Amino acid sequence: MEKKMIRISTSLLAANFKHLDKEIKKIIKSKSDWLHLDVMDGNFVDNISFGSNVCKAVSDYPIFKDIHLMITNPTKYALEYINYHADLLTFHYESLKYKKDIKNLIKMIHDNNVLCGISIKPKTDVKVLLPYLKNIDVVLIMSVEPGFGGQDFDENAINKISELRKIIDENNYNCLIEVDGGINDKTSKKVIKAGADILVSGSYLFKSEDMKESIKKLKTNL
């Protein structure tokens, strides 16, 4: 069987913001597949990171932009991120109360030719996603409580990834599994084995001496 393609999405949250241009060029040079942009509003999560201004500033770099919205009202702000060249826009299941709102936001993102993802927090059951899996491109499984980089990987994510992998494969859904939080050269093996397609990594990659080698390691060190 052909080996499955694993993508790495490097999280800008762990970069040195004094030198953003240099840091993004380093991410691109290191052959990261995607650039992960964590938008936090200090309300949905207990931290404020950056908003659409930073996404606008990075919009012209030649790399796939993976925007992770950790905000209370994603419907209100989605278009800003779409306009700043999001390739994938992911919002949190927990940030919208009604099924109708979730379906409408998926449609709105797709109508603008952007890929759509839904993320779930560590305590949220994978099964809540069943009504949407057919219509979304990515599920982002949080393996830490969203809000901060540098936290330890929550092992509970492994079972959630396996469960989701099974549902996606059984139904032939065209949906990728992304995992975010505490990914390093040890946890990467476990999540890939469980069925993840895309690995977000911030602290591990920015702390490593050779980002390019570390990205390669995350993908191939199985």
What is the closest distance, in whole angstroms, from the C-beta atom of residue 198 to ligand DX5 in the complex? Answer: 12
Closer to Zn ion by CB, 94 or 170: give it.
Answer: 94
Compare residues 137 and 180 and give the one whose CB is closer to ligand DX5.
Answer: 180
Q: Is 116 in the site for ligand DX5 (CB under 6 A)?
A: no
From 15, 6, 4, 3, select the one nearest 211 (Cα to Cα). Answer: 15
- Separation between Cα atoms, residue 181 and residue 38, nearest integer Å: 11
Shortest distance, CB of residue 118 to ligand DX5, whole angstroms? 14
Which H/E stretch holds residue 141? Answer: strand 138-142
Residue 175, binding choice from ligand DX5, Zn ion, none, Cβ under 5 to 8 Å by partner class: none
Binding piece for Zn ion, criterion CB under 5 A, among 36-44, 74-82, 152-160, 186-194:
36-44
Please tell me which residue in 21, 38, 41, 46 is annotated as part of the active site. 38
The correct pick among 8, 11, 102, 114 for binding ligand DX5 (CB under 6 A) is: 11
Q: What are phi and psi of 39, to 5 degrees?
A: -100, 120
CB of 122 to ligand DX5, least distance (A): 11
Residue 17 burial (C-beta neighbours within 10 Å; 0-12, 13-18, 19+): exposed
Q: Write the single-letter amino acid at 190.
A: K
Per partner kind, with CB cut-offs from 5 to 8 A, the member of Zn ion, ligand DX5, none near residue 151 is ligand DX5
Q: SS3 letters for 67-123?
A: EEEECCCHHHHHHHHHHCCCCEEEEEHHHCCCHHHHHHHHHHHHHCCCEEEEEECCC
> Of 117, 62, 108, which is closest to residue 85 (Cα–Cα)?
62
Give the DSSP letter of residue 153. P
Establish whether 21 is a catalytic residue.
no
Q: Between 13 and 63, whose beta carbon lies closer to ligand DX5?
A: 13
Report 74-103 residues binding Zn ion (CB under 5 A): none
| Residue 195 binds to ligand DX5 (criterion: CB under 6 A) | no
Interacting residue ranges for ligand DX5, rule: CB under 6 A: 11, 13-14, 36, 38, 68, 144, 146-151, 180-183, 200-204
